[in-house]
Amino acid sequence: MKTTLNVLKIIDGTTVDGPGFRTSIYFAGCNHHCPGCHNPQSWDLNGGTPLSIDEIMARIIQNDFDVTFSGGDPLLQIEPLTQLAQKIHESGKNIWCYTGYKYEEIINDLSFIKIAPYIDVIVDGRFELALRDTSLLFKGSSNQRLIDLQKSMTVGKPVIWQSSF
């Protein structure tokens, strides 16, 4: 079982990838290739630096911040990502995960079902240049959705995350 993830960078204390101060981890690899992508250098799955789950956790627990998975598309490394997500969840931190896949494309996928219990919110869908809107909260284009994953799985359809601030 793979226990390393290819990581492009880790930013501590960002406020743009979800509510509050967060540790954002940018994972290598993306197969969506959206025109206008903010980060095309992230597309190579073999890019970045291989870090063990324990090394990433050591960085995450240095502070009280919650965690965001970004990239790239973090779900391309879903097996070790699931192990990491479980540890983060058990530490009491919440997790937001950006993905170019739509909720409906992944919600019944057997690999995604394993990681889903540990993810609080997914920001789903490809970046659509024609729908780009810089005023949107935590997303780049209006087709993307901030989905409360736990509520969605309870009711069996996507439930939009509601900000409490």
Regarding 39 and contact with ligand SF4 (CB under 6 A), the answer is yes
Which 129-158 positions form the footprint of ligand SF4 (CB under 6 A)? none
**How near is the Cβ of 80 to ligand SF4 at its closest, in Å?**
19
Give the interface segment with ligand SF4, choosing from 28-36, 60-68, 109-117, 149-157 (CB under 6 A). 28-36
Q: Give the tokens for residue 4.
A: 């390393």
DSSP string, 55-124: HHHHHHTTSS-EEEEESS-GGGGHHHHHHHHHHHHHTT--EEEE-SS-HHHHTT-HHHHHHGGG-SEEEE
Regarding 74 and contact with ligand SF4 (CB under 6 A), the answer is no
Regarding 73 and contact with ligand SF4 (CB under 6 A), the answer is yes
Regarding 29 and contact with ligand SF4 (CB under 6 A), the answer is no
**How near is the Cβ of 74 to ligand SF4 at its closest, in Å?**
10
d(CA 46, CA 132) in angstroms, rounded, equals 28
